[in-house]
Amino acid sequence: MSSISEERKKVLLRRYGNQNINSAKNKTAEILRPRGMGPGPRGPKAMQSGKPKNVYAVIRRLLSYIGKDKIKIPFVFICVILSSLAALGGSYLLRPIINNLVYEGKTAEEKLISLILGLLTMAGIYLVGVLCTYLQQRIMVKISQNSLVNIRKELFSKIQKLPIKFHDTHTHGEIMSRFTNDLDSVGQMLNNSLPQIFSGIMTLIGTVILMFVTNWILALVLILTIPILIYAGSTIGKKSRKYYKEQQQALGAVNGYIEENISGLKVVKVFCHEETAVEEFSFLSDFLRSKQLKAQFFGGIMGPVMGNLSQIIYALIATVGGILCLVANFDIGGLAIFTNYARQFARPISELSMQMNTIFAALAGAERVFEIIDEQSERKDPNNAVEICAKTNIKKEAKLVKGEVVLKNVTFGYTSDSIVLKNINVVAKPGQKIAFVGSTGAGKTTITNLINRFYEIQKGEILIDGINIKNIKKDSLRSNIAMVLQDTHLFSGTVKENIRYGRLDATDEEVIEAAKIANAHSFIERLPNGYDTVLEGDGANLSQGQRQLLNIARAAISKAPILILDEATSSVDTRTEKHIQEGLEKLMQDRTTFVIAHRLSTVRNSDLIIVLEQGEIIEQGNHKELLDMKGRYYQLYTGAVELD
C-alpha cells in the first residue's frame, strides 16, 4: 500500500507531468528555473501539447521550409504517383491473365505464352514501382533533413539572440525539448507521414476508379461500406490519440522525476529520502504503465479491427461478385481483381487514420518551435551605435575605453509592478574598485546585469566614458566587460580551450600568462596532460577552487578594462579563498572593478563601498568612512547584524 497522500500525487503529476490526476486536460507546468546568471523573474510556464492552436498557419510555415527544395519536390510527387499507379496497374493485369487461362478458345501453348508475357509485364510494372518508391524515399529524406537543419539552425541562432529575461522564465529542459522531442516528431512526419498520406490518397482514388471500371455494381456495394470503415477508424484513432497524449505526459513526468532525483542525489541521501523517492517514482511509473496499457491497446487494435472489417467486406464482395458471374456474365478475372481491391481498400484508410496521430504531434511540436523562433530578440543596436575597445585590442574607428562607469538615477524592475532598483547613482572612475554589499535581493547582481545590458532600464541612464550604453553596440560593450561569477561553468574541452574562451584569438603564451595571473598555472601543470587535459562534465575532475581559478584566467585573458566579480569566492573554503583572492588582486590591476561580496573582509580595500537595501543606496564611502558613520555597514562589519 502506497504511503503517498492523494494531495502529494496531484503535486507530482502537476509538477513533473503537467497532468491532473483526475483529468487528462492540460495544466500549467510548475517547474521553476534553476538558479542562473541573474535573479530575474522566475515562475510557471505553460507547456503545450496535443493539437496545435493554428493548424493551417503551422502547415504553411513548414511548407515554406520544404519549399526551399522546389526542384526536388515535383520528383517526389511524380515518384509517389508512379509508385501508386504501378501497384494498381500491376494488380489490374491479373484480370486479362486469369481470363486468358480460363478462356476455352486458346490452346495450352498459347495460354502459357500469354501467362509468361503477362507475368513479365507485371514484374516490369512492379519493378518500376519499387524503383519509384526507393527514389521517393531517398529524395524525401534529403528534403526533410534539409528542412530540419534549417529549422534547427534558425532555432539555435534565435536562442543566442534572446534576452536573458527569456531564459529566466523558461527552464533549460523546456528549451532542450524543442531541439529533441519536437524536432524529432517534425522529422518523422516529413520523412514518412507526408509521403504515406499522399500515397494513401492516390491509392484510394485509383482503387475507387478501377473498381468502377471493373464493375460498377460491386463498386457501389463497396462504397456503402465506407462509413463503417471511417467510423471504426475515427473512433479508435480518437481514443488512441487521447491515450498516447496522456502517455507522453506521464512519460515526461517519469523522465523529469528521474533527472531531478539523480542530479540531486546527494541531497536525497543527506536527508534520508531514499524510500520516499522510491515510492514517488513507483507511483509515477505505475501511472505511466496505466496510460501505456490503454495507449498501446487502442494503438494495437487499429490494424486487426480494420483488417477484420476488410475481410468481412471481402467476403461480401466475393459473394455478390459470384452471383454476378452466374447471372450477369461477369468475368472471373474481373471478380479476382475486384476482391483483391476490396481486401486492400481498408489499408489506405487505416494508414491515413494512423498517420493523424503522428501529424498532430509533429504540428504541435513545430508550433512550439516556431513560438521560440518568433520570440522578441534583444533590442537591436541603433544605426548610430558606436564601437568601443580596450587599449590592448585597438580597432580602427573604435573608441578607446578608459573604464569610467556612471549610473545616473537608474530605476529598474523585472516587471512593471515590481521595482528592484530605485534611483541608483554610482560613479566609478577608471581603475577604481567599487564594492556592493547588502542583503540578498537588495539589487547587487541586478546592477551588474544592467551594466552588461542584459536588461533594459526603465528610467535613468548608464554611461561608459560618457557614452550611454544604449548607444554602444552590444557585442562591443560586453567584450569590454569581464565577469567572474559564483557559479562557474566550464565547457567540454581542454583546459587551454576553456581559458581561451575569454578571447578566441589568444595565443598559447597568452593563455599561460593568464593562468599565471589567476594563480592557476601551478595546479594546471600538475594535471595529467597539463594545459591539454580534457575537462568533461563541467570540470567535474577539478575542485571548486580550481574551477574558479580557470574562470578567473578566462577573465584575465579577455583583457577587458571593466571587471565584475559576483560572489567570486563565496563557494570556497578560507584557504582556497586566499589563493583565489591573490589571483583576483592581479586581475583587478588597472581595471575598473565592481565587486559583490558577502564576506566584508574582501571589500575592505575598495575605493568605494555601496550599501544597498531594498533596491536603494543607504550608505556609501570607503571602509574607514563607513565605520565612522556607525550605520548599517558598521553593524555588518562588527557583527551586530548579519547579512541575510
Percentage of the chain modeled with pLDDT above 70: 88
Q: Where does the pLDDT of residue 46 fall: very low under 50, low under 70, confident under 90, or very high at 90 and above? A: very low
What are the pLDDT digits (tens) for 537-551?
777 778 888 888 888
pLDDT band (50, 70, 90) for residue 572? low
Helix (H) or strand (E) holding 400: strand 399-400
Give Rg (Cα) of the chain: 35
Q: Where along the chain do its domains lie? A: 52-151+161-373, 392-480+562-573+589-644, 487-559
Report pLDDT for 284. 86
Least confidently predicted of 67-81, 245-259, 415-429, 510-524? 245-259
Q: Which fold has domain 487-559?
A: Rossmann fold (3.40.50)
The CATH code belonging to domain 392-480+562-573+589-644 is: 3.40.50.300
Average predicted confidence (pLDDT) for the chain: 80
Q: What's the mean pLDDT in 440-468? A: 88
User: Strand 405-415 relative to strand 459-464: parallel, antiparallel, unpaired?
Assistant: antiparallel
pLDDT at 576: 67
CATH superfamily of 52-151+161-373: ABC transporter type 1, transmembrane domain (1.20.1560.10)
Q: Do domains 52-151+161-373 and 487-559 have the same CATH topology?
A: no
pLDDT bracket for residue 188 (50, 70, 90) = confident
**Is the four-CA dihedral 93, 99, 100, 101 of positive or negative sign?**
positive
More confident site: 190 or 619: 619
What are the contacts of 202-208 at 24+ separation with CB within 8 A?
202/80, 202/81, 202/84, 202/85, 203/84, 203/87, 203/88, 203/344, 203/347, 203/348, 204/345, 204/348, 204/349, 204/352, 206/84, 206/85, 206/88, 207/88, 207/341, 207/344, 207/345, 207/348
Handedness of CA 122, 124, 125, 128 (dihedral sign): positive
Contacts of 560 (CB under 8 A, 6+ apart): 390, 479, 480, 481, 482, 591
> Does position 43 have pLDDT exceeding 60, yes or no?
no
In terms of average pLDDT, the best of 124-138, 393-407, 533-547 is 124-138
Three-state SS letters, 178-202: HHHHHHHHHHHHHHHHHHHHHHHHH
CB 303 within 8 A of CB 350: yes
H-type helices in 452-488, by residue range? 474-479
Distance CA 444, CA 580 (A): 21
How sure is the predictor about 9, in pLDDT bands with cuts at 50, 70 and 90? Answer: confident
Q: Report the distance separating Cα 546 and Cα 536, nearest Å.
A: 14
pLDDT of the residue at 34: 32
Q: How far is CA 463 from the centre of its chain?
A: 37
Residue 547 CB contacts under 8 Å (≥ 6 apart), including other chains: 488, 490, 538, 539
Question: Is 41's pLDDT higher than 50?
Answer: no
In this prediction, residue 16 carries a pLDDT of 64
Which pLDDT band holds residue 47 (cuts at 50, 70, 90)?
Answer: very low
Average pLDDT over residues 529-533: 90
118 versus 417: the higher-pLDDT residue is 118
Q: What is the pLDDT of residue 15?
A: 62
Q: How confident is the model at residue 35 (pLDDT cuts 50, 70, 90)?
A: very low
Please report, to the nearest 10 degrees, the dihedral formed by the alpha carbons of residues 247, 250, 252, 256 taken in order. -160
Residues 594, 451: contact at Cβ < 8 Å?
yes
Tell me how far apart the 2 most distant CA atoms of the chain are, in Å: 125
Mean pLDDT computed over 352-357: 68
Q: Which residues have CB under 8 Å from 16's CB, separation 6+?
A: 31, 252, 253, 254, 256, 257, 260, 284
Q: What is the pLDDT of residue 384?
A: 77
Identify the band that residue 346 occupies on the pLDDT scale cut at 50, 70 and 90.
Answer: low
pTM value is 0.69
